[in-house]
């Protein structure tokens, strides 16, 4: 296939929610009145963000999921995406599987694919996502308040656990733990409904992609706040929970979680727990926001400090 045949066969589909989608020099969209437009971009590079032998359908899913997770962190509804792909060669079977995984997730969230680009090069996948939230109501990193509870959704450390097993093989994971970790690593679930449900309940939120401790630190930095954070309250897989003290970085700083970390007033605890039950998403209270003078402390259940060798993933480390 040449470039244009590839686009027509696998990516030129009716664009949901758009005035004009794939096929022209630019797409045309019409945002909902009374809503702000949110825009985010993520790039995935072979060997840096995924293994060369990953299932193309799973990679299609993850390529979109990591972008939807950014919209979730803002409380925005994802509406449209553009996809840019660099391929080392034109492998029709690979592209078909990738497109299946990508569009399956797009259909689940009613997201329109409205354009993009293809070229030859090292396998690189870049998505720009556009979302909407009611004007002035978005969850932002700079809005945490002293006294807020600190929360996190789902479980932490599963993707990092699977990645370490694939790279080093030293964890000797049982089959169920490895399967759970690989599912998180290859097919993360963006918390879109939770993010939208937190509008009016939470003050600040962030997408957990590079490690919970580092990503939550962005909230504290932008909000100019400190925090007391409870390591033993961080939710994780049972196998990892039993070895919590041995592998603290996997849980607190591992990355590839795609959960939401957020702060909210203590008065909203019951409402947040009810929202989690309604959506079938676990939510865990893991600390409290303090004054900037108090600094940031990560402590165990006995109040002892927990040391991390690193705070999170760094693309240039």
Is 256 known as a binding-site position?
yes
* Mean per-residue pLDDT over the chain, rounded: 93
Instruction: Tell me whether residue 316 is in a domain.
Output: no
Q: What is the 3-state secondary structure (H, E, C) of 6-72?
A: HHHHHCCCCCCCEEECECECCCEECCCCCEEEEEEEEEEEECCCECCCCCHHHHHHHHHHHHHHHHH
Question: Based on the structure, what is the number of domains in the chain?
Answer: 2
pLDDT band at 48 (very low <50, low <70, confident <90, very high): confident
Final residue before a domain boundary, out of 98, 119, 134 = 134
Q: How far apart are CA 235 and CA 183, in angstroms?
A: 17
Is 100 known as a binding-site position?
no
Is 116 known as a binding-site position?
yes
* pLDDT for residue 264 is more than 60: yes
Q: What element of type H or E holds 146?
A: none
CA distances from 285 to 139, 151, 232, 270, 290 (A): 18, 4, 11, 11, 15
The CB density around residue 15, as the number of other CB atoms within 10 Å, is 21
Is 207 known as a binding-site position?
yes
Instruction: Tell me whether residue 304 is in a domain.
Output: no
Q: Tell me: do 75 and 111 sit in the same domain.
A: yes
Q: Tell me: do 32 and 62 sit in the same domain.
A: yes
| Both structure tokens of 5 | 């045949």
Is 210 known as a binding-site position?
yes
pLDDT band at 89 (very low <50, low <70, confident <90, very high): confident
Is 297 known as a binding-site position?
no
Instruction: Tell me whether residue 311 is in a domain.
Output: no
Beta strands in 62-195 (DSSP E): 77-87, 112-120, 124-134, 149-153
Is 70 known as a binding-site position?
yes
Is 141 known as a binding-site position?
yes
Q: Which residue has the higher pLDDT, 187 or 91?
A: 187
> What is the residue range of 90's domain?
3-134
Q: How far apart are CA 286 and CA 160, in angstroms?
A: 20
* pLDDT for residue 30 is more than 70: yes
* pLDDT for residue 221 is more than 80: yes
Q: How far apart are CA 178 and CA 162, in angstroms?
A: 6
CATH number of residue 267's parent domain: 3.90.650.10
CA angle at residue 105 from 260 to 157, to 5 degrees? 35
How confident is the model at residue 117, as a pLDDT? Answer: 87
Q: Which of 25-29, 175-179, 274-278 has the lowest mean pLDDT?
A: 25-29
Mean pLDDT of 300-304: 96
pLDDT band at 51 (very low <50, low <70, confident <90, very high): confident
Is 223 known as a binding-site position?
no
pLDDT band at 317 (very low <50, low <70, confident <90, very high): low
Give 125-151 pLDDT, tens digit per residue.
999 999 999 999 999 999 999 999 999
pLDDT band at 172 (very low <50, low <70, confident <90, very high): very high
Q: Tell me: do 78 and 199 sit in the same domain.
A: no
Q: How far is CA 43 from the centre of its chain?
A: 13
Give 224-258 pLDDT, tens digit per residue.
999 999 999 999 999 999 999 999 999 999 999 99
How confident is the model at residue 155, as a pLDDT? Answer: 98
Instruction: Tell me whether residue 306 is in a domain.
Output: no
The CB density around residue 51, as the number of other CB atoms within 10 Å, is 13
Q: Tell me: do 162 and 129 sit in the same domain.
A: no
Q: Tell me: do 177 and 255 sit in the same domain.
A: yes
pLDDT band at 49 (very low <50, low <70, confident <90, very high): confident
Q: How are beta strands 77-87 and 112-120 bridged, if at all?
A: parallel
| Both structure tokens of 215 | 């990503």
* pLDDT for residue 267 is more than 80: yes
Is 25 known as a binding-site position?
yes
Phi-psi region of 200 (alpha: psi -120 to 50; beta: other; left: phi over 0): left
Is 12 known as a binding-site position?
no
Instruction: Tell me whether residue 25 is in a domain.
Output: yes
Q: Tell me: do 114 and 27 sit in the same domain.
A: yes
Mean pLDDT of 161-169: 94
Mean pLDDT of 3-23: 74
Instruction: Tell me whether residue 305 is in a domain.
Output: no
Percentage of residues of the chain with pLDDT beyond 90: 83
Final residue before a domain boundary, out of 77, 103, 134 = 134
| Both structure tokens of 308 | 């991390």
Is 126 known as a binding-site position?
no
Q: Which of 26-35, 154-163, 223-232 has the lowest mean pLDDT?
A: 26-35
Instruction: Tell me whether residue 166 is in a domain.
Output: yes
Q: Tell me: do 260 and 159 sit in the same domain.
A: yes
pTM of the model: 0.93
How confident is the model at residue 316, as a pLDDT? Answer: 53
Percentage of residues of the chain with pLDDT beyond 70: 96
List the one residue out of 34, 30, 3 whose CA is nearest residue 19. Answer: 30
Mean pLDDT of 278-293: 98
Handedness of CA 281, 256, 114, 33 (dihedral sign): positive
């Amino acid at each position: 296939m040449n470039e244009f045949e590839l686009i027509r066969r696998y990516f030129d589909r009716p664009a949901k929610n758009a005035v004009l989608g794939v096929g022209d020099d630019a797409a045309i969209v019409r945002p909902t009145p009374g809503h702000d437009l949110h825009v985010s971009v993520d790039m995935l590079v072979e060997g840096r963000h995924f293994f060369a032998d990953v299932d193309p359908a799973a990679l299609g899913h993850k390529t979109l999921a990591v972008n939807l997770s950014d919209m979730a962190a803002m409380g925005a509804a994802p509406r449209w995406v553009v996809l840019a792909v660099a391929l080392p060669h034109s492998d029709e079977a690979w592209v078909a599987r990738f497109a299946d995984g990508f569009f399956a997730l797009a259909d689940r969230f009613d997201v329109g694919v409205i354009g993009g680009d293809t070229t030859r090069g090292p396998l690189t996948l870049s998505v720009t996502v556009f979302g909407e939230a009611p004007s002035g109501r978005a969850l932002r990193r700079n809005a945490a308040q002293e006294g807020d509870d600190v929360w996190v959704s789902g479980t932490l450390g599963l993707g990092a656990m699977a990645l370490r097993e694939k790279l080093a093989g030293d964890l000797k994971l049982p089959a169920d733990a490895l399967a759970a970790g690989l599912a998180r690593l290859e097919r993360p679930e963006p918390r879109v409904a939770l993010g939208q449900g937190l509008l009016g309940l939470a003050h600040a939120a962030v997408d957990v992609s590079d490690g919970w401790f580092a990503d939550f630190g962005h909230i504290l930095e932008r909000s100019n706040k400190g925090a007391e954070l409870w390591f033993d309250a961080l939710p994780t897989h049972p196998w990892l929970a039993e070895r919590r003290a041995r592998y603290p970085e996997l849980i607190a700083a591992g990355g590839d979680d795609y959960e939401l970390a957020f702060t909210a007033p203590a008065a909203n605890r019951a409402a947040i727990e009810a929202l989690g039950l309604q959506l079938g998403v676990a939510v865990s209270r893991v600390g409290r926001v303090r004054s900037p003078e108090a600094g940031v402390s990560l402590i165990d259940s006995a109040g002892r400090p927990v040391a991390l060798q690193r705070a999170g993933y760094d693309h240039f480390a």
